[in-house]
Structure 1
């Protein structure tokens, strides 16, 4: 039975941190893996106040438990939005930093940590320190992307971007194969936002066919933001529903639904940035056994070759995914465990079924062959050897944890599995 530790204020947490054993901070519980699983959790959700906003600089100061959705609801009507928005708005600011999340504009603006001005972090001793790109920089580099393993994030200051609308001018480019998809990414690389849905079960000359969507905020001055209404999937789908033929048929219909060539439309920001947030319990589509998300990134110079090899293996084995997201990334940052590097990533959701885990191990070897890496926020199964091969600064992270006695206080099932 999990032990949840709630706290009233900083002093209350300081007194409790000495009495509890190993723990991990938990935000809104949206990670796909085991990064926030532990016998003891420190819950920060009730600490969700906005502490200040500098209108001239666009810098917000807030407690770590506030959700991105709450910030969007408050600030979009005032003409401000997140500089970096991940694929869900239902995560806390603290979680966004711990995962060093990225969005559809990484090739232009980098990770969430690039927007962070300051972090107030409680260490295992109970002391609270301030860290940033300049102050206590080593601690900052370990905390951003460190999955809560350096301490408890209490407060954060980070910058927003000015916008003129809650709408996005979306361009959709329909490609016929992986080469065309890569060509389209490069052609539209100057667009602020880009992401592609890819048909991972297409074969032969059609392998890698995609719908690339790029976007820019509209200038229509419509800031009347209302969160999108949600629908709920009320029960787990029978396991047989999501089979190879069903996924293949869905992919074919979805691809066919797009107009040939290039098309344009206006969509609201929820539809563009957070499409799955409008569906409660969407994971029930995968049945009672659930699913495994598999996200990796490959260096740009070998991305095409590596992705082609992986897509061929997926198509041949028939382990299909109708949620398959391809993104272009810019240069990596200095954070020890931040996921992005200059290249392309692919994220896939596989229904849990017989033979899947062995199949994913085969994909792991291709990722390693092309010197790729895996995303901690999405991972629940890679081995220590596979994971650490993609992170050249992992020993620096481990040494920092050891020397500051962080390892004695902050741990998760993931950190134990990977020896972090």
Structure 2
């Protein structure tokens, strides 16, 4: 595993301040920030952000994007997450689907989807996890059977974020039997409004309804909606996960919580609490540097899947530990209806933190990926 040290260029740093000024003006005074990528699903905000050229930033200009670098996108995403902006509508399409289309999609798919993604008009969900195949994606049971003019898809996907609000999702499914369970997998772009698609909300512990079960019962997918090569789904989804696992969303969920506490109590910290915040800041900056290094690698056309897995592991563990530290420092009863922003965010963090080491790959699976890479390197 290689994490090459890197810093932001003057132009990249200037972009950061531009985004920060825009957010100060765009978000209302009574705005209630979300937790990192847990921001609200707000198509109007996504379209306003797209008008600035900050959705689908790395999409080439010929496809309606800004032609920006991976690191420039990293800078914009950091500011959006730090502000708790309502980014959920465009998030998956911008972070994952667009790069996948650029790398594996057909020219027709690029011409149709990418301009709509860059305009904040086309929203995607992920169709990976299943009831019996969460982080073990090679165990997916959803099948796609060849028909005269396309594919018939049958199966169930779960934890499908915002499938009840979005337009499409990319489904990992089995298109042929194989002794190697990593073979015979393919990716299909499925219209969530298609006949045979049933979306059912999965209530979370905090009462939120943003993840879903999606049942596909004889759903027709035309040949032109096959993403990449039939049978190459495993290689494609592995490359895609480098985008999903390595970004600022894996360590910035708690930044709003920290800021809210310091705004209310920062001047009253004793030496012990101040030291705890110092350790948090040092770890946050270290993880951020790892994430930025992966962004540079992606910018250079590499596929650092192992490094991304490590960033996701250390990032989400860090987030959970910060929540526990804040509970101890604050010594408050958890009240979702608390009067202050800090109380509200703390309650939200406590209820959501257990999921952070699950979504995007469990800690155990990610450590297995890292261990295999280290074992190969040692040989």
TM-score by length of 2: 0.25
Structure 1 length normalisation: TM-score?
Answer: 0.23
Larger relative contact order, structure 1 or 2 (CA cutoff 8 Å, min sep 6): 1
